[in-house]
Amino acid sequence: MNRIKQLFETKQKDILSIYFTAGFPRLNDTSDIIRELEKNGIDLIEIGIPFSDPMADGPTIQESGTIALRNGMTLNVLFDQLKDIRKDVKIPLIMMGYLNPIMQYGFENFCKKCKETGIDGAIIPDLPFNDYINEYKPVTEKYDVKVIMLITPETSDERIRLIDEHTDGFIYMVSSAATTGAQKSFDEKKQDYFRRINGMDLRNPRLIGFGISNKATLDAAQANASGAIIGSKFITLLKESANIKEAVKALKETLSK
């Protein structure tokens, strides 16, 4: 069974997913970050593929991507770094990146390499849903790569139900229509959005991301979905901390108070 499916069958609430940019802060940090996060109880990891034009990302993740590219990170390098990751890492791993570098690599080649490496899913924010259904879904199913679609407060109920019908990993519930970045709290407008989606009785589990940076936003996300995704906050801690262990320790402390 795909590890994403397995996770959500065994744990329905309080799932914590962490995003980081591959190749940041140093080129060869990728596998060490993954292992340290798993050792500290993280349920799922999103490995960011750096790209030169990250339109959905805020300044923190943009900067990390720029540094990663400057360090020499590419998809070829990333897959090589991950070739032995399944010797000891058991939790689900997802690639997150824009369509351009994936298409340059070759979409089927990308899915095939994900399968060989032990990557369980992909989040591609600029992949149009209709293109996914008409062109790419058969390829992803061939290699058992779960494509995770994003929804925002502006996504129509009709589109959300289509996404729910045609995907079977989880739904990435973006907390706002803005770019990524830390927030101190979720306002009433966002709470209304959470309640609207909760009322739709979707079959897929949901994780809430964008803006989660402290215990208040983590608790709000976990109360309104199966769990939460943290990205920008962890990237900042990786930048500010002396090493990976210190960054993960600081993350745990931030989320506990």
Q: Which residues are catalytic?
A: 46, 57
Nearest-CA neighbor of 172 among 211, 115, 125, 222?
A: 125
- The helix (H) or strand (E) run that includes residue 64 is helix 59-71
Nearest-CA neighbor of 211 among 238, 240, 177, 169?
A: 177
Strand partners of residue 134: none
In sequence order, which ranges of 72-212 are alpha helices (DSSP H)?
A: 75-81, 99-105, 107-117, 129-131, 137-142, 157-166, 188-198
What residue ranges in 34-151 does DSSP mark as E strands?
44-48, 93-96, 121-123, 146-148, 150-151
**Distance (Å, rounded) from C-alpha 174 to C-alpha 58?**
13
Question: Can you read off the two tokens belonging to residue 72?
Answer: 């020499």
Find how far residue 250's CA is from the centre of its chain: 20
**Distance (Å, rounded) from C-alpha 69 to C-alpha 132?**
27
**Distance (Å, rounded) from C-alpha 214 to C-alpha 230?**
10
DSSP for 189-206 reads HHHHHHHHHHTT--SS-E
User: What amino acid occupies position 172?
Assistant: Y
